[in-house]
Amino acid sequence: MLDGQRDLPSRKIEGFVHIPDEKAGVLIQPEGRTFRDVRTRWQPYTTGGLMMMAVLAMAALYLIAGPMRYTADPQGRTIKRFTWFEQFIHWFTSASFVWLSLTGLNLVLGRWLLQPVIGDNAFTSLSALAKLSRNSVGFAFMAGLFVMMVQWLHPNIPTKLDWQWIKAAGGMFGGPHPPARKFNFGQKMIYWIAVFGGAAVSITGIALLVPFAATGVPGMQLAHGAHSIISALMMAVIISHIYLGSIGVQGSLRAMTTGRVDRNWAYEHHGLWGGRGRGGAAWRNRRRAAAAAGRVAPSALLPGCRGNIAPFHRTRRRAVCHIYAAAVVVLHHGNACLHQLPPCHSGAILGGAAAWRPGIEGAVHAAPKLQRRKRSLP
């Protein structure tokens, strides 16, 4: 039969059937044998190899560069980084992805790794339950992925600033931390890989969940192969994300467990976000040194001032911030803004307030509002 198959133009052995499913008329096709060989011989090795490569790469990064450390804020001050809803969506999507990954690895590697350990009957029952759960958890993953894509789309849009992060390799191998806003280039890569990779596995997963709804046998084979390859690549990327978010960058994990991060961590790793748009810790040090010499307005030392004047128009915020800081110093004898700064800066701030006296008179009329806002100062 195989010798006669080689003489056929399409190399298929097919006939006619009297049932609606015309695919049943195909008895033998060469693509089927190729798909079987890839599925049973190559896919387990490539999937397992990608997982091992990701783990070894993170181990090598830890041994070569070590974890990225930071100097904790001496007063224990923190900054709000994520809301409770952002934390919930992150862990909801992560849990569904982990479950889909484990059950998918069971379908690919379970026959060689798990079945000899737990036996044939237990492996059959476990695999059947895992397959049924995938049909529901997959939709939970798609819903969570969509919400994450929408809520973090704007801060993950690439900008020219990312090139500086790339040239400095994120500061992982020494040197100063490159400037970054809420998300640096590495986190943006994780975001877009999750978005496009998640969309791809979702589409191919739906094709496998509803077989032959939109394609024939060749299309189903292609969807199965693409689903397996993209899923393995995403698992390798998420392994690196787990390492960098826990051990590789110290202080990062608490952002998704408490929603807050240490203030110095924010200044060092995301200075343009944690430093309220002024460049982070390096900028603050330069401005404080200038303040000691009497060359800077007191509002430069108040990173919370931007949040207090949010209702004002953007082009007027800087001037209003100066007036607001000077008025706080005069109206409250400096207690509202000096209690969290080193004592050596008190004279510089009071001197700066005197230099900005023309704005105080206008700020005094807003004293009731300032008294309510002073509690939000850092």
pLDDT digits (tens, 9 = 90+) for 108-140: 999 889 999 999 999 999 999 999 999 999 999
Q: Report the distance separating Cα 314 and Cα 362, nearest Å.
A: 19
**Across 248-257, 295-304, 328-337, which has the greatest mean pLDDT?**
248-257
Provide the pLDDT confidence category of residue 283 given band limits of 50, 70 and 90: very low
Contact 260, 266 (CB under 8 A): no
pLDDT digits (tens, 9 = 90+) for 196-233: 999 999 999 999 999 888 888 888 889 999 999 999 99
Provide the pLDDT confidence category of residue 189 given band limits of 50, 70 and 90: very high
Provide the pLDDT confidence category of residue 62 given band limits of 50, 70 and 90: very high
Beta bridge partners of 28: 13
In the chain, DSSP finds a helix count (H) and a strand count (E) of: 19, 4
Residue 297 has pLDDT above 60, yes or no: no
pLDDT higher at 339 or 265? 265
pLDDT higher at 70 or 320? 70
What pLDDT, on a 0 to 100 scale, did the predictor assign at position 336?
A: 39
Contacts of 155 (CB under 8 A, 6+ apart): 181, 182, 183
What pLDDT, on a 0 to 100 scale, did the predictor assign at position 285?
A: 57
Residue 290 has pLDDT above 90, yes or no: no
Average pLDDT over residues 54-77: 91
Q: How many CB atoms lie within 10 A of CB 272?
A: 17
DSSP 8-state symbol, 248:
I
The boundaries of every CATH 1.20.950.20 domain in the chain are 35-265
Contact 171, 178 (CB under 8 A): yes
Q: Report the distance separating Cα 78 and Cα 122, nearest Å.
A: 49
Architecture (CATH level 2) of domain 35-265:
Up-down Bundle (1.20)
Residue 315 has pLDDT above 50, yes or no: no
pLDDT digits (tens, 9 = 90+) for 1-44: 445 545 455 566 766 776 777 666 777 777 778 888 888 888 89
Average pLDDT, the chain: 76
Q: Report the distance separating Cα 202 and Cα 148, nearest Å.
A: 15
What pLDDT, on a 0 to 100 scale, did the predictor assign at position 136?
A: 92
